[in-house]
Amino acid sequence: MGKKWETRKCFLDHPAPCILGTHHEKGAQTFWSVVNRLPLSGNAVLCWKFCHVFHKLLRDGHSNVLKDSVRYKNELSDMSRMWGHLSEGYGQLCSIYLKLLRTKMEFHTKNPRFPGNLQMSDRQLDEAGENDVNNFFQLTVEMFDYLECELNLFQTVFSSLDMSRSVSVTAAGQCRLAPLIQVILDCSHLYDYTVKLLFKLHSCLPADTLQGHRDRFLEQFRKLKDLFYRSSNLQYFKRLIQIPQLPENPPNFLRASALSEHISPVVVIPAEASSPDSEPITDLVEMDTASQSLFDNKFDDIFGSAFSCDPFNFNSQNGMNKDDKDRLIEQLYGEITALKEELENFKAESTRGTVQLRGRASELEAELAEQQHLKQQAQDESEFLRAELEELKKQREDTEKAQRSLTEIERRAQANEQRYSKLKEKYSELVQNHADLLRKNAEVTKQVTVARQAQGDVEREKKELEDSFQRVSEQAQRKSQEQAEVLETLKRELAASRQELQVLQGTLESSTQAEAEQNSRISSLEQERDRLSQAAEQHGQDMAALRAELQQLRDTLSREQESSRTELESLQTQLRDKEGAEQALQRRLAEEQRSLLRGTAHEAERMVQDALARMEDPAHIGCTGSADCLLSRTLAASECVERLRDAHGKYLSDGTAVGSLLPCLALFAHLVSDTLLQGSATSHVAPVEPADRLLELCRQCGSEALSYLSALQDPGTVAGADCSPVTACLGRISTIAEELRPRGLDVKQEELGDLVDKEMAATAVAIETASARIEEMLSKARAGDTGVKLEVNERILGSCTGLMQAIHILVLASKDLQREIVESGRGAASPKEFYAKNSRWTEGLISASKAVGWGATVMVDAADLVVQGKGTFEELMVCSREIAASTAQLVAASKVKADKDSANLCKLQQASRGVNQATASVVASTKAGRSQVEEKDSMDFSSMTLTQIKRQEMDSQVRVLELENQLQKERQKLGELRKKHYELAGVAEGWEEDAAE
């Protein structure tokens, strides 16, 4: 075992052969081929020694070492992260050392003029910056970063040692301190170049611009001075290296002459001191037997059991003769040739595998194209079937219209029959009435004066009867209901005529004394009686004409009924044929829709499976994401799941409603896959415990989504498919995303962000309270008021309720638009930070919300006073207009940062128009109520004299002048109030500051 331990030291404890080997090989390919076989991820001490050797190779090896090592930069980063999880032993040391090596490679890659050992003259330093101040500025920043990594390793090594004991003389302590020699060499050069570059920058740029550079230099100066001082006191470094001491005070870059006082620190390695690389360091760490034997076997497999101590040492001082060197070189060349052959074989196999995979990809693409063609054919056929279905529906509607027209014709025929029977009855009644009138006329002839009056009355009644009969005839042609009303009117008029005749008879009995005077007029009454007889005959002729017309109408109706019945039978036959064809098409369409559903569900399942596979792909480890982005993706996926649940329910209730389910399935697969990948990316930057829980929930969500999609593909389980587990998983993912969201650091920002939500919530509560109060007032008004007052109160309170509902809709739309603005504008920041950044806009939202809530409360109070009779209608109208202005302010504040094509903005504008309409309704109902009350309270002038009216007129004129004077004063006061309000609002909103800027 001692022999094998000495063999290991040849490679890691003695890097000199490796350095010579890189110069001989002009690269580091052999070095990396050997390193890749070492268990660096399983042995921290071995990794620490590798870092030390690699650091020396970067400094003293061939210039091509950097080019050959850049390809392994990502592997070094992964190994650094892996060792960073260990908080004890060499874990943290290896992690920081690997970060330093990566930084060194990046620095030399960006600045190829700098050699690995950083030794340059002042002229070479100027040429590295190309005499450009911008290049010098960037080069200084990169040197600061490089020096900071060196100092971090320095401090970490010292903090891991127990400085109360002489750790520098122990093997374990020397193992940790040995790499610091390379760090001291790098730091001395970096400090010197940084000072010179800062003096050069101060000669070209203002001092304020370089304040950050000076602050960073002072911090690194103090650290480096302290570390140099502590290192110089260690016994280990005293015999190996002479560490320079930095000046007591840092250089004054503001004084250009201070550059001449600067002394470049020089690290001296005594020639008589033995190199730390040549000293064997034994027993650096304790290993158990199993790990020791495993490492020995691996080393023997790589180098062979007879591998000597210094395989890359080509000098004669190691005891090797020329033949041994030649054999070693030949052996190495043989291994290189074998490795090249193995590499060629591997390349050939890779080429064959690539050709096979490309062929398979071509086959899959052809199959995909065929499937897409079949899908397009199915869609075209579905469109054709849908068009045929629409045509059948139109034909069915035409049949229903024809059936309704037939029913209407039958109803008209029945109505005509009823009109005929009613006309017949009316004619009999008119004949009877005419006979009664003739008898009444004979009685009237006995008394002249009364008869003349009676004759006039009878004539008027006759004319009225003729007019009534004419109206009844016309109304009989239009509708039967009006005829019945006219008949009732005629009956009432006949009853009134009979009462008048009875009165006339009484008058005749009392007027027997004037009979002699009326004899001369009897002849004229007889002539009038003849005219009445002729009129009665004319009425009889008119009734005969009506009977003939009615008979003709009956014949027409019978012919129309017969033709309609025949047409109805033919239409019913066509309808049955169309229904049979429609049922067949519906069955065919249902089968096509089920096929489309299975295909879409299968494609969605493949998308989710692809997302789960990408989560496990090592290439995805480097992807990172923010918790806010994950939260937005989770919210969108949850909303999509809800829409998918509704579409699934519609599909189960109506098998033809697959059109709404297919887009939801595609969007569901896309959003769930996006959520899974975003969750995996977020877990890469999250702490260990939340990251594990997030990954587990993402895998569970993917499996639940796959189960749901598999259930949709089977007709037997499509009814029992449930996406509730997916919703639950998304909810838990959203909870973890909320926990991972960055918290705001400023208390005022949190207060401002919370104040927006509080004010919007308070506005919504105020509106709901106002609506409840209005409903309560309306109930009280219905219970206690009657007549005009109840009508006015119901109209006003009803319009106020509509206004509150419109405002509630507007507040909800404003919340949605506000949430959209915050999500689209905040980026990676939190909503509270977004509100703080846009404080002026936030204050406008808060002010508008307060105004809306206050206006709602004031309007309810005004409506309560109006209902109680204690308030005025004008106050209610002003309150409603004020609410409209406040809501307009809220809409304007919400529209400032909204996208003009936003759907939520359209909803907000529509809600604003609804508020304006509701406000106009409140004003109109208030004016109408006031008009009703004023009409009810109109003055009664019937009992007033001329003098009193004149007095009231003078009082009204005086009152008009007083009111006009008061109106002018109130308008001036209103102008002053508005001016003062504008000034106060300008101070509160910072308009003066904006104008000054």
**Per-residue DSSP letters for 243-270?**
-----SS---TTSGGGGGG------B--
Q: What is the residue type of 511?
A: S
User: pTM, whole model, 2 decimals?
Assistant: 0.34
859: phi then psi, degrees, rounded to nearest 5: -65, -35
Give pLDDT tens digits for 554-596: 777 778 778 777 877 877 788 887 877 777 777 777 777 778 8
Is the confidence at residue 95, as pLDDT, over 70? yes
Q: What confidence category does residue 484 fall into, taking pLDDT thresholds of 50, 70 and 90?
A: low
Orientation angle between helical segments 122-129 and 133-160, nearest 10 degrees: 110
Q: Supply the pLDDT for residue 235.
A: 80
| Alpha-carbon gap, residue 832 to 749, rounded angstroms | 6
33 with 303: CB under 8 angstroms?
no
| Least confident interval from 145-154, 652-661, 833-842 | 833-842
Is the confidence at residue 644, as pLDDT, over 80? yes
Q: What confidence category does residue 281 fall into, taking pLDDT thresholds of 50, 70 and 90?
A: very low
Give pLDDT tens digits for 11-22: 555 677 788 888
Is the confidence at residue 443, as pLDDT, over 80? no
Note the Cα 798 to chain centre separation in Å: 36
42: phi then psi, degrees, rounded to nearest 5: -110, -10
Buried b vs exposed e over 521-547: b needs ≥16 C-beta within 10 Å? ebeebeebbeebeebbeebeeebeebe
805 with 771: CB under 8 angstroms?
yes
Is the confidence at residue 315, as pLDDT, over 60? no
Q: What confidence category does residue 955 fall into, taking pLDDT thresholds of 50, 70 and 90?
A: confident
886 with 852: CB under 8 angstroms?
yes
Q: What confidence category does residue 276 fall into, taking pLDDT thresholds of 50, 70 and 90?
A: very low
Note the Cα 320 to chain centre separation in Å: 76
Region 194-222: what's the mean pLDDT?
89
Q: What confidence category does residue 438 fall into, taking pLDDT thresholds of 50, 70 and 90?
A: low
Region 727-738: what's the mean pLDDT?
87
Is the confidence at residue 860, as pLDDT, over 70? yes
| Alpha-carbon gap, residue 383 to 187, rounded angstroms | 76
DSSP 136-165: HHHHHHHHHHHHHHHHHHHHHHHHHS-TTS
Give pLDDT tens digits for 733-759: 888 888 886 543 333 444 555 666 677
* 242 three-class SS: strand
Q: What would you measure as the largest C-alpha separation in the chain, in angstroms?
A: 184
Q: Is 483 exposed, middle or buried (0-12, 13-18, 19+ CB in 10 A)?
A: buried
Q: What confidence category does residue 2 fall into, taking pLDDT thresholds of 50, 70 and 90?
A: very low
Spatial neighbors of 52 by CB under 8 A, at least 6 apart, are 12, 15, 178, 179, 182
| Least confident interval from 200-204, 258-262, 892-896 | 892-896
Is the confidence at residue 138, as pLDDT, over 70? yes
| Alpha-carbon gap, residue 45 to 804, rounded angstroms | 75
310 CB neighbour count, 10 Å cutoff: 20
Q: Supply the pLDDT for residue 194.
A: 92
Contacts 24+ apart (CB under 8 A), 522-525: 522/445, 522/448, 522/451, 525/441, 525/444, 525/445, 525/448, 525/451, 525/452, 525/455
User: Please, what is the end-to-end C-alpha distance for the chain in angstroms?
Assistant: 81
Please give the mean pLDDT across all residues of the chain.
Answer: 75
Spatial neighbors of 828 by CB under 8 A, at least 6 apart, are 626, 628, 629
| Least confident interval from 519-533, 654-668, 824-838, 890-904 | 824-838
The position carrying tokens 């969605």 is 604
Q: Supply the pLDDT for residue 102.
A: 92
Region 942-955: what's the mean pLDDT?
74
DSSP structural state of residue 719? T
Give pLDDT tens digits for 789-836: 677 777 777 777 887 788 888 778 877 877 777 777 655 456 666 666
The position carrying tokens 């579409």 is 647
| Alpha-carbon gap, residue 258 to 888, rounded angstroms | 67
Is the confidence at residue 720, as pLDDT, over 60? yes
| Alpha-carbon gap, residue 44 to 41, rounded angstroms | 7
| Alpha-carbon gap, residue 811 to 329, rounded angstroms | 84
Q: What confidence category does residue 307 fall into, taking pLDDT thresholds of 50, 70 and 90?
A: very low
| Least confident interval from 254-263, 268-277, 436-445, 872-881 | 268-277
The torsion region of residue 33 among left (phi > 0), alpha (psi -120 to 50) and beta comes to: alpha
Give pLDDT tens digits for 155-183: 888 888 876 666 667 787 888 888 888 89
Note the Cα 805 to chain centre separation in Å: 25
Give the closest residue to 508 by CA, choosing from 434, 433, 438, 441: 441
Share of the chain above pLDDT 70, in %: 74
Give the closest residue to 39 by CA, choosing from 71, 1, 8, 10: 8
| Alpha-carbon gap, residue 723 to 721, rounded angstroms | 7
* 194 three-class SS: helix
Between 34 and 500, name the one with better pLDDT. 34
Residue 407 is encoded by which pair of tokens?
A: 């029913």
| Alpha-carbon gap, residue 706 to 610, rounded angstroms | 11
The torsion region of residue 268 among left (phi > 0), alpha (psi -120 to 50) and beta comes to: beta
Write the CA distances from 335 to 305, 328, 681, integer angstroms. 15, 11, 43
Identity of the highest mean pLDDT range in 355-369, 676-690, 938-952: 676-690
DSSP 818-841: HHHHHHHHSTTS-HHHHHHHTHHH
Give pLDDT tens digits for 215-274: 999 998 999 888 888 888 888 888 788 888 888 888 888 888 888 888 888 888 775 444
Q: Supply the pLDDT for residue 447.
A: 60
Q: Return the H-helix or E-strand segment holding 968.
A: helix 946-989
| Least confident interval from 233-242, 313-322, 617-626, 860-869 | 313-322
Is the confidence at residue 46, as pLDDT, over 70? yes
Q: Supply the pLDDT for residue 237.
A: 81
